[in-house]
Every structure is written in structure tokens, then in C-alpha cells.
A and B are shown apart, each in its own frame.
Chain A
Amino acid sequence: MTTVSWSGEPGTSRGPGPFLSVRDLSVEFSTEDGIVHAVDNLSFDLEKGTTLGIVGESGSGKSVTNLAILGLHDPAHTKISGEIWLEDQELTSADGTTMEQLRGNRVAMIFQDPLTALSPFHTIGRQIGEVYRKHKGASKKEARDRAIEMLRRVGIPQPETRVDHYPHEFSGGMRQRAMIAMALVCDPDLLIADEPTTALDVTVQAQILDLLKELQQQFGTSIILITHDLGVVAGTADNVMVMYAGRAAERGTVREVLREPQHPYTWGLLSSMPRLNASVDVPLTPVRGTPPSLLNPPSGCPFHPRCDYTKLAGPELCFGQRPSISPETGHGDACYLTLEQKRELRTAKTEDHA
């Protein structure tokens, strides 16, 4: 037997490490139909001032993961295990007041549809200002001035008049800018953007992404960017995590993952993505099959029901045992295929595709 020694009291403090560190996070919802395993043993890190893109199909647990960081799940129906460290603070065990002080202040979030995500009953200025008042103790007047300043910063024309308008008087792109202004009003260290451009048209999408990048450069904000779209990740993120069924399928730098994708699911995502420089008659092949039920996730590798390579990797492994992501750091993936096999398959695929 070995003696276990603690480097410190668990859940209180920790030595220097990444800015955000998620360790073995699991999130389960109890519903009428049973337990939904939305996030399963997920770990990832985010360095200060960088952007992590999280990609995956609908239902892969992207939003659930990030709502867990903010502590926005209803505790009555949700079981969360694992640890989420924001610098030296553990968030899954933090109390309500601590989380309230953190939200909108150190960690802010932007949602997909700015029309429904903004309150229809309050002016834009008030919605931005009240975050500032809550966290910085500012007066009404100061909050209003700050709101105008923020609106100007995100590129809204005539912020002095716009500040008194309601969300329904803004266009979609303007609303998302206002949402960003609201998220950034307290200069957060971490910004979580949950599909910030999905509801917008393409030109506006590009503008919003540029705006995020620009603000990041100015203020050194760390960003988690959730998206369906590997194209968005390619242009915006430093690192990528591909999620499947609440787990990480692959992670690495954008370059690594897009150039040398290792996981069959990532291959699927890439070949279902239109390329600007490819000829139009190259068919897009979506990942076959449907996302798995999270009430009753598949055994072994959760991707196996949709995977073409189980024979190659060894069915007893793929069907029987959860692959964990390896190597521990750097470019890693959760698949039993050997590096050799992956390389060959990938080359064959790119030749197909080109």
C-alpha cells in the first residue's frame, strides 16, 4: 500500500496551472425517461488569452459543459462530478453567492440567439448597465455611460441613442453585438460564446468573429467558442476539442486537428464540411447514422455504431471498452486505431475527397 499525500486541501487551492482546467467532468440529468449522461468524464484546459473551439454535432454536450462552468444547471435535477478550476478556484463546489459574483464578471457567456437571449422588456442600455452595477457597484449614471462606451466598442453606431432602444429595435447582427457588449462590460477573463453566429447571416458572422478576435487581442480575454462549424474554428481558434456523446473525441491545436485529424468522427465532420477551394461537384458526405441516445449510451467507444473501422481496430475493444484520449497532452484522440492505420486511412480519404 502506498500512502496518499495531498498537495493541499481538495477543493480550496492549487498550484499554478492552466487558466481554466476541467477535470473528469460528468454531468447527468435525471429526467422522466431516465438519466441523461450529457457529459461523461471530460477533461480539457484553456490557456490565458487563447481561444478553444469546441466542435460537435447537436446534442454532443457542448452547451451542457459550458453551462456547468457557469454553474447554471438546476441542482435539483443535475448531478455534476469532477472538477472545474478557474485559476485557483474550484467551481463545481463553489457556493451560490460565489458563483453569482463570478458570472457576468470574471466569466461571461454569449448565447446563440440574441433575440430570445435578451430581455424584450428592458432597454439594451439597462441590460448592459445592470451587469456593471451589480458587479462594480456603479451608479445608474456610470452604468449608462459604460453601456454607451461598450456599445461603441462593439461597433454600434450612435450608441448614445441606441442605448435607450429595446432589442426588437435592433437588427440580428446588432443584437449579437449588444450581447457581446453585455458580456464584456465587466472585462471578464473568460468569455464563453455558445454558437454566437449560428443565427446570423454569413457576412454578419464574419464581422462578429472578427470583433471577438479583436477584443481578445485588446483585452487578453480567454475564449471558449462553441460551434458546429469547423470553418469557424479554423479561422478563429487556437485549439480545438471535438466532442462526441459528451466525451472528447479529439483535441489539439487547430493546425494539428485540421491537417492531421486522427479520429474517425473528426474525419466525418471534415468531409461533411464544404470547402471553398474544392470543386463544387465533390459530394459532401455527412457522418452516417444518428447521434447516440444519451439515456443509454453505447458501450465501448460511443462512436462505434457509426464507425466504419471497428473491424480494423478490433471489435472487442471498440464494442467493449471506453477509449480514453491519448496522449495526455498535445494532439490526442480517443480511438483504438494505431497511428499507422490512422495515417493510411487519412491519406486514402483525402485522395478520395480531392
Chain B
Amino acid sequence: MTSYLVRRVAGALVILMIISAITFYLFYAVPRDPARAFCGKICQPETLALIRHNLGMDEPLFVQYWHWLAGIFTGREFVQFGECPAPCLGYSFATQEPVFGAIVDRFPVTLSLTLGASVVILAFGIMTGMIAAWKVGQPLDKIASASSVVGASLQIYFVGPLLAFYLVDTLQLIPRPSYVPITENPVEWFTHLLLPWVVLSIIFTANYTRMTRSQMVEQLAEDYVRTARAKGMSSKAVFFRFAWRGAMIPIVTIFGVDLATLLGGAIITEQTFSLHGIGELAVRAVQNTDLPMLLGVTIVGAAAIVLLNILVDVLYAFIDPRVRLT
């Protein structure tokens, strides 16, 4: 188990290196020159050269990449711009701050949003799917199945404002979405994120309802489930102790795949509710062609997905004893 984790993390680091190198190359190969943007309208060639030098942009690309990589461990100093302490993922010239600091500031927002939505998706999706499977063919099943079709076809930027209008403005049931740090006030953290969680999870939840239902129905027809019934296990025990385990395996797998999409959804949700998370940071970085910031966000996002996938694989081994983590 430990050696498995060490190997997976090492593998993840290699992957992140590759991703960063490719992203670095793609971003810095574009003709847009950040130095020119700083130089101003009347730009003397000497000033431009100086800025380029201070930004380290007068060196070959691979040397620049090397500096970037080394900066993660040693920190960097950008003359005329500012200090970038380790771990330095670059310095945003557009916002005049180290990239890593900006990401760390916003990370809790996106993390809260994604984790909360995951909980809603899994808890609610699996629950309704189980109910549907338990009542196969009966009205409850039909309601669950029909609403999951509707749910799956909804869009965040459509449902978000709509729900906000009704629940926040008209009925005043919940507060306007914003981010209150959990360390400051857990209750407000919860209530203020409730709407974004629901909105982000709606399309996914529906999917998980359908998957859970079909997986449960499939599992209930398996031989080992019949054996459990032949042993005298009650329908409830058969359903919750036996079939459930089998049904969760593909669901965990799909969830691992969905994590990336979920992160994408989080960006849209942050935009929809003006939450100051990493998504918002990324969108603004694109608008400003803030390449260091974009690179940083990409790497952190990739790292999050890779790490979560390792977690999912470990979870998988917990559910299915046939899976060996070696």
C-alpha cells in the first residue's frame, strides 16, 4: 500500500512535469509579448529590452522553463516587479503578485465548492438511484428517472440565476451566495454556499441517479445476489449489503473521470455567482493574457485532479477486495 502510494505520487509528479512543460511551451510560444504590454504606448527599445531582461524573457525557452521549475523550490526575484518566494509558480505582471499566493488565497473557495458539490452529487444521486432501484417500475422509480432526465439537460448558467432569483430574491430562503471562510463561521460558510452546491451538482446528480439505478438493477440479477437470497438474507440486507457494493464500483470509477468536468463546472459556477475562486482567477487571466497566472492555475488544477484520482483508486481498492494496489 505505501509503496503503491509512493509510486503513484512519483508518477503523478512526472505527469505534472510533462503538463507544465507543454503548457509552458504553448503559452510562451504565442506571439503576445507581456513585456510590450508593460512598456506602455511609447516604448523605447532599450526599456523593452530591460523589461524583458528583468522578466527573464531574453533567455532561450528551455532556460526560462528551468528557471520556472527551479523557482518552485528556491523562489525568484523579479527586479523592478517584486519578490516571489518559494514555492514560486511565477509572478503575475498583470496583477503584480506571485501566482502561488493568488491561488492559495482562492483555493479554499474552489475546494469548498467542489467538495461540497461532490457530497451533494454522491449522497443525493446515489440515494435517489437506490430508491428508484428499490421501487423498480413503481411510481417513485418513474419520478426519479424522469427528473433525472430533466436534471441532466439543465445548464449551470441557466439554473443558477433562475434559482438565485426565486430562492434568494423572491422567497429569501437562503442568503446570496458568497464565500465565508469555514474557520470564521461554519454555519455561514454552509448557508452561503448552499445554492452554488445545488446548482453545480444538479446536472451531475441526475447522472448518478441513473447510473446507480441501472447498476443496482444489474447487480440484483447477479448470481451472488441470488445466493444471498438463497441463504435467507432479507431483501433489505441483499440490497444494502450485497448489491450495493457491486454497484458502487463503476460509480466510483466514473466519479474519478467526472472530477475534471466537475472542476470545469466549478469555474462556470464561480462566474455565475461571482465567487472569487480559482475559476474566476483563470477567467480573468485569460482576459488579461496573464500567462504566468494561467500556467499556475493549469498546474494546480492538474495536480488536484491527479491527486484526487489517486484517492479514488485507493477508495476503489477498499470497496473491491479483488483490486490489489501493488
Binding site for B on A (CB under 8 A): 70, 72, 76, 100-105, 108-109, 111, 113, 116-121, 130-131, 134-135, 166, 168, 182
- Of the listed stretches B88-96, B150-158, B204-212, B229-237, chain A binds B229-237
B-side interface residues, number (CB < 8 Å): 20
Tell me which residues across on chain A come within 8 A of B322, comparing CB atoms.
Answer: 120, 166, 168
CB contacts (< 8 Å) of B242 on chain A: these are 119, 121
Question: Chain A: which residue is nearest B246 at the CB level?
Answer: A121
| Chain B residues near A113 (CB-CB < 8 A) | 223
Given the contacts A166-B322, A168-B322, A120 and B224 also touching, CB distance less than 8 Å: yes
With a CB–CB cut-off of 8 A, which chain B residues contact A166?
A: 321-322
Please tell me if the beta carbons of A120 and B321 are within 8 angstroms of each other in the complex: yes
A contact residues around B229 at 8 Å (CB): 72, 103
* B32 contacts partner chain A, Cβ-Cβ < 8 Å: no
- A191–B234 alpha-carbon span in the complex (Å): 20
A111 touches B233 (CB 8 A): no
Write out the residue numbers on chain B whose beta carbons fall within 8 Å of the beta carbon of A131.
231-232
A134–B223 contact, CB under 8 A? no
Q: Contact between A72 and B228 (Cβ–Cβ < 8 Å)?
A: no
- In the bound complex, residues from chain B placing their C-beta under 8 Å from that of A120 are 224, 246, 320-322
A102 to B234, CA, bound (A): 12
Residue of B nearest to A109 (CB): B230
Q: List 7 A-B contacts (CB under 8 A).
A: A100-B234, A103-B229, A117-B226, A119-B224, A119-B227, A134-B232, A135-B232
CA distance A135 to B232 in the complex (A): 8
| Interface membership of chain B positions 294-326, coded 1 if the CB is closer than 8 angstroms to chain A and 0 otherwise | 000000000000000000000000011110000
- CB pair B227 A134 closer than 8 Å: no
Task: Contact check, B232 vs A117: say whether CB atoms are below 8 A apart.
Answer: no
| Bound form: Cα–Cα A166–B322 in Å | 8
Closest 7 CB pairs of A and B: A104-B232, A104-B231, A103-B232, A116-B223, A121-B245, A119-B224, A109-B230
Closest B residue to A118 by beta carbon equals B224
CB distance from B284 to the nearest CB of A (A): 47
With A and B bound together, what is the CA distance between A177 and B227 in angstroms? 15
Cα separation A119 to B319 with both chains bound (whole Å): 12
Which B residues between 217 and 267 are near A, CB-CB below 8 angstroms?
Answer: 222-224, 226-234, 242, 245-246
Please name all residues of chain B whose beta carbon is closer than 8 Å to the beta carbon of A117 when the two chains form the complex: 223-224, 226-227
Is B231 a contact of A116 with CB atoms below 8 Å?
no
**A318 CA to B144 CA in the complex, in Å?**
53
Q: Do residues B234 and A119 form an inter-chain contact, with CB atoms below 8 A?
A: no
The distance from the CB of A187 to the nearest CB of chain B, in whole angstroms, is: 14
Asked if A119 and B228 make an inter-chain contact with CB atoms under 8 angstroms apart, the answer reads yes
| Most chain A CB neighbours (cut-off 10 Å) among B224, B231, B234 | B231
Q: A104-B231, A130-B231, A182-B231 are in contact. Are A111 and B226 (CB under 8 A)?
A: yes
Complex contact A103–B231 (CB within 8 A): yes
Name which of B223, B230, B319 has the most chain A CB atoms within 10 A of its CB. B230
Q: Are B230 and A103 in contact (CB under 8 A)?
A: yes
Contact A118 B320 (CB under 8 A): no
A83–B9 CA distance with the chains assembled, in angstroms: 63
Smallest distance from the beta carbon of A176 to chain B beta carbons, Å? 12
Given A119-B242, A121-B246, A72 contacting B230 (CB threshold 8 A): yes
Given A117-B223, A119-B242, A120-B224, 4 extra CB contacts under 8 A: A108-B230, A111-B227, A119-B245, A121-B242
- Which of B137, B228, B233, B320 gathers most chain A CB within 10 Å? B228
Point out the residues of chain B lying under 8 angstroms from A121, CB to CB.
242, 245-246, 319-321
Q: Please indicate the chain A residues that have their CB under 8 angstroms from the CB of B320 in the complex.
A: 120-121
Which chain B residue has the least Cβ–Cβ distance from A97? B234
Find chain B residues with CB under 8 A from A135 CB.
232
Contacts of A104 in B (CB 8 A): 230-233
CB contacts (< 8 Å) of A108 on chain B: these are 230-231
Specify the chain A residue showing the minimal Cβ separation from B234: A100
- Shortest Cβ distance from B322 into A: residue: A168
Complex Cα gap A168–B323 (Å): 10
Complexed CA–CA distance, A168 and B228 (Å): 17
In angstroms, Cα B237 to Cα A135, docked, is 14
Closest to B228 in A: A119
Which of these, B137, B223, B234, B245, contacts A111 with CB under 8 Å? B223
Bound complex: CA A117 to CA B228 (Å) = 9
Shortest C-beta distance, B235 to chain A (Å), equals 8
Complex contact A72–B232 (CB within 8 A): no
Name which of B227, B232, B233, B320 has the most chain A CB atoms within 10 A of its CB. B232
Q: List, in ascending order, chain A residues with CB within 8 A of B232's CB.
A: 100-105, 131, 134-135
B231–A134 contact, CB under 8 A? yes
Which residues from chain A contact B224 at a C-beta distance below 8 Å? Answer: 116-120
B141 smallest CB distance to A (angstroms): 13
Which residue of chain A is the closest to B223 with respect to CB atoms? Answer: A116
Minimum CB distance partner of A106 in chain B: B232
Q: How far is the CB of A271 from chain B (nearest CB, A)?
A: 33
Inter-chain CA distance A104–B226, complex, in Å, is 12
Q: A105 to chain B: which residues have CB within 8 Å?
A: 232
Residues of A within 8 A of B227 (CB): 109, 111, 117-119
Provide the residues of chain A in CB contact with B230, threshold 8 Å.
70, 72, 103-104, 108-109, 111
Q: How close is B138's CB to chain A, nearest CB, in angstroms? A: 10
- Binary interface profile of B, 101-135, with partner A (CB < 8 Å = 1, else 0)? 00000000000000000000000000000000000
Distance of A76 Cα from B242 Cα, bound (Å): 22
Closest CB of chain A to B247's CB: distance in Å?
11
| Distance in angstroms between the alpha carbons of A130 and B233 in the assembled complex | 9
B70 to chain A, nearest CB (A): 48
Cβ < 8 Å to A, chain B residues 29-82:
none
Q: Chain B nearest CB: distance from A36 CB in Å?
A: 16
Given A100-B234, A104-B231, does the pair A116, B319 have CB atoms closer than 8 Å? no
Q: Give the CA-CA distance A109 to B230 in the complex, in Å.
A: 7
A182 cross-chain contacts in B, Cβ below 8 A: 231
Would you give the shortest CB distance from B106 to chain A, in whole angstroms?
40
List of B residues within 8 angstroms of A102 by Cβ: 232
